[in-house]
Chains A and B, each alone.
Chain A
């Protein structure tokens, strides 16, 4: 007797003779089912949130107001000014000042010898 191949009519996809048809899941479906994607999406959302909040905070704390841009900015000078006394002093007197300063700082003192007057007694 020839064997009849059995097929459960209730479960169409459970036919061992028929190749299983792959069902493409949507992102929303994957998101609902796959934990890895859930974690990835969660982390990405957190990063974006931090990024946005940092931009907002830096914008609010910035001393330069967008409305005033261009109004109170210092105008660049042709030559930079250094706060240095030596540079400000007229050059023709620089040597004289240096000479006098060196003389003030110079100590001409020669330390006298320390003598023990009891040597020989």
Chain B
């Protein structure tokens, strides 16, 4: 059992090693490489957790059937292993999420930095819990730990969905900036003349629609949470994020039509 936990700790350390890299203003390619690396680590941990979870379910079934001291011991042991793997998976996910925020960080560096610090804090908490889990010896110890985890997991879920929403908001803001930059470039073109005027006059209205949806999504991330239950705002936020994507697609499509006129 000890050797197994040591093995998992070593695997976790191996996945944790890239954390030192992303602090120095990474280039887009580096960020993408890092994100892919962390995603792979996370995928590995997901597979590990699934294996341990199935083992735990099997042991629990045996214990439910026979109710002996030995089967209970096996069940506790399998539960500890599954919980350890679950924490490792959660930590790997939080790390991947934290690194992915770097991609569009320039849009809102202060807010993203704050979220990344929060994610780091929960990564550390997961690591700490993996030092505690091997020392849980009785079913009562496990239940006490699980009750504490459930409370903390509400906050973890909140930061996860805040991060996901924030990252996609920043992505949309970056796209809007790029579209504005492109329209400026087209405007400077001597061939443009008054072709772009209609598009430019409609841009503030369309930008306002994008920003309105982004504001709704931002407000949703501030949904008050209960101490023991997570109020999932993400599906609603996702609707707004998809809406902004549609607006941006329309704005770009109109700009493309204007740009095509330059060649005619």
Contact = CB atoms under 8 A, between A and B. Distances in A.
Contacts of B103: 108
Interface string B154-195: 000100110010011001001100110110011001000000
A107 to B, nearest CB: 8
Contacts of B104: 108
A117 B150 contact: yes
Given A100-B175, A104-B245, A110-B97, A121 B252 contact: no
Given A104-B248, A109-B168, A112-B160, A119 B86 contact: yes
Nearest to A120: B79
Interface string A94-116: 00110111011010111011011
Of the listed residues A97, A115, A120, A121, the one surrounded by the most CB atoms of chain B closer than 10 A to its CB is A120
A8 interface: no
A112 B158 CA distance: 11
A82 interface: no
Interface in B246-264: 248-249, 252, 256, 259-260, 262-264
Nearest to A116: B53
Interface in B71-126: 79-80, 82-83, 86, 89-90, 93, 96-97, 100, 103-104
Interface of B is mostly: helix
A89 interface: yes
Nearest to A118: B146
Interface in B26-65: 39, 42, 46, 49, 53, 56
Interface in A36-88: 85, 88
B166 to A, nearest CB: 11
Nearest to B174: A103
Interface of A is mostly: loop
A121 B153 contact: no
Contacts of B56: 119-120
Contact of B252 (A100, A106, A113, A115): A100
Contacts of B8: none
Contact of A99 (B142, B161, B178): B178
Given A85-B260, A88-B260, A100-B252, A109 B164 contact: yes
A117 to B, nearest CB: 6
Interface of A: 85, 88-90, 93, 96-97, 99-101, 103-104, 106, 108-110, 112-113, 115-117, 119-121
12 contacts: A85-B260, A93-B185, A103-B175, A106-B171, A108-B103, A109-B168, A110-B39, A110-B96, A112-B93, A117-B153, A120-B83, A121-B146
Given A108-B171, A117-B150, 19 more contacts: A85-B256, A88-B264, A89-B260, A90-B259, A93-B259, A96-B182, A99-B178, A100-B178, A104-B175, A110-B42, A110-B96, A110-B97, A112-B161, A113-B49, A115-B86, A115-B90, A117-B149, A120-B143, A120-B145
